[in-house]
């Protein structure tokens, strides 16, 4: 089984090195996996003036799954949009039709005090956000800049076809069926035509899932409810932009964005797995970043794309164990616990494995 390893920029290479240590250990124990690294994002631009070099895309296509780090950095901020690191990730999602982005927000009991919310509000929190990943205002045409009445104007297009809405909403219902059978669809149907269609299609799909209780919520209210009473949610399904924002918000309920993995899947179950945090250029190269989200992304990859449930659980159990042992990176540091660097955290997981 082949894993394409795209570490990217900023803290990407550091956190990826820890996940690779874990995968190497599993291989030594007999798991038949191979990894192949390739540059993406700013690293792709540096290597070949392209955030998604042709060779990287073909390695990704030929693999059974992709493990992704993070992209972006201030040195690339002034490049034309097509050359920016983020485009490497967006194009990869689009080229491989990775439309279903699963972003779990789970609070580890050991980290209850790391959340900025009161422990009783977040204790036991376990939410799954399904974000549509290949449509919406991130890809809609026309977009660009023009001059209007003598001043600069920027514009983007929010759009969804019903087939795009239907397949992600369906994924939401399927996920809800495996959990508590409650699905909340988030939109802005009081203002946006795109959202009115979204809601219509969600209600149509609901007829095929009579066992699931579907609710609708406006995105501004959802943002508020997530910090007021987050445990009212189980599965949330929403569009690309709303999901981008709400999943960052939900991640902080759990204490740190440095803890959360994600899966981006296409219709065949092929997937790209990545931590939901970014490239954190401010702490890059300083052995400060939390590698656990990437290690947990590798576990999701083992489970969903390689069907290695036992190996996935082994990794997740090791992560729980190091948290119980008191190992903490700076983002989740607590008095009385042992603050360690990126590499030491990776070593601790390896030892616990």
Q: What is the DSSP letter of 39?
A: -
188 is annotated as an active-site residue? yes
- For the segment 215-274, give every residue that binds ligand IPM (CB under 6 A): 244
Q: How far is the CB of 56 from ligand IPM (least distance, A)?
A: 16
Is position 86 an interface residue for ligand IPM (rule: CB under 6 A)? Answer: yes
In the region spanning residues 46 to 75, those forming contacts with ligand IPM, defined by CB under 6 A, are: 72
Taking the complex as a whole, the smallest distance from the CB of residue 98 to ligand IPM amounts, in Å, to 11
Vertex 105 angle, CA 107 and 123, to 5°: 30
Q: How far is the CB of 72 from ligand IPM (least distance, A)?
A: 6
Q: Are strands 144-148 and 151-155 parallel, antiparallel or unpaired?
A: antiparallel
Residue 7 contacts which entry, ligand IPM, Mg ion, none (Cβ below 5-8 A, type-dependent): none
The residues that bridge with 11 in the sheet, in sequence order, are none
Catalytic residue of the set 24, 126, 174, 244: 244
Between 244 and 344, name the residue whose CB sits nearer to Mg ion.
Answer: 244
Contacts of 46 (CB under 8 A, 6+ apart): 39
Pick left, alpha or beta for residue 342 (phi over 0 → left; psi -120 to 50 → alpha; otherwise beta). Answer: alpha
- Within 10 angstroms of residue 21's Cβ, the number of other Cβ atoms is 17
Q: Is 89 in the site for ligand IPM (CB under 6 A)?
A: yes
Q: Which does 156 bind (CB under 5 to 8 A by kind): Mg ion, ligand IPM, none?
A: none
Q: What is the rounded CA–CA span in Å between residue 97 and residue 139?
A: 13
Q: Which is nearer to Mg ion, 33 or 253 (CB)?
A: 253
Nearer to ligand IPM, 72 or 104 (CB): 72
Applying CB under 6 A, does 102 fall inside the site for ligand IPM?
no
Q: How far from chain centre, in Å, is Cα 32?
A: 26
Let me know: does 186 contact 236? Beta carbons within 8 Å.
yes
Q: Where do contacts with Mg ion occur on this chain (CB under 5 A)?
A: 244
* Burial of 54 from C-beta contacts in 10 A (0-12 / 13-18 / 19+): exposed
- Positions marked active-site: 138, 188, 220, 244, 248
- Residues of this chain that interact with ligand IPM (CB under 6 A) are 72, 86, 89-90, 244
């Amino acid at each position: 089984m082949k894993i394409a390893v795209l570490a990217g920029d900023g803290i990407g290479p550091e956190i990826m090195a820890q996940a690779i240590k874990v995968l190497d250990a599993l291989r030594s124990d007999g798991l038949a996996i191979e990894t192949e690294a390739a540059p993406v994002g700013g690293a792709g631009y540096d290597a070949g003036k392209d955030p998604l070099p042709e060779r990287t895309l073909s390695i990704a296509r030929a693999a059974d799954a992709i493990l992704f780090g993070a992209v972006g950095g201030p040195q690339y901020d002034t490049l034309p949009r097509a050359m920016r690191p983020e485009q490497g990730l967006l194009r990869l999602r689009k080229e491989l039709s990775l439309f279903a982005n699963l972003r779990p927000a789970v609070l580890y009991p050991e980290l209850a005090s790391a959340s900025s919310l009161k422990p009783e509000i977040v204790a036991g929190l376990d939410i799954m956000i399904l974000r549509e990943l290949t449509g919406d205002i991130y890809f809609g045409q026309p977009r660009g800049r023009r001059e209007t009445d003598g001043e600069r104007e920027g514009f983007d297009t929010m759009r969804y076809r019903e087939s795009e809405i239907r397949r992600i909403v369906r994924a939401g219902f399927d996920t809800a069926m495996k959990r508590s059978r409650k699905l909340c669809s988030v939109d802005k149907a009081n203002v946006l035509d795109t959202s009115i269609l979204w809601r219509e299609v969600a209600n149509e799909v609901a007829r095929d899932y009579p066992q699931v209780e579907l609710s609708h919520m406006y995105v501004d209210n959802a943002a508020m409810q997530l910090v007021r009473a987050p445990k009212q949610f189980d599965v949330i399904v929403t569009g690309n932009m709303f999901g981008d924002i709400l999943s960052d918000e939900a991640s902080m309920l759990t204490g740190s964005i440095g803890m959360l993995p994600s899966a981006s899947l296409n219709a065949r179950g092929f997937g790209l797995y990545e931590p939901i945090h970014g490239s954190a250029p401010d702490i890059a190269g300083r052995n400060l970043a939390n590698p656990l989200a990437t290690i947990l992304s590798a576990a999701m990859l083992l489970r969903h794309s390689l069907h290695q449930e036992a190996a996935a659980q082994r990794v997740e159990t090791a992560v729980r164990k190091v948290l119980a042992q008191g190992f903490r990176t700076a983002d989740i540091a607590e008095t009385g616990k042992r603050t360690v660097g990126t590499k030491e955290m990776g070593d601790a997981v390896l030892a616990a494995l």
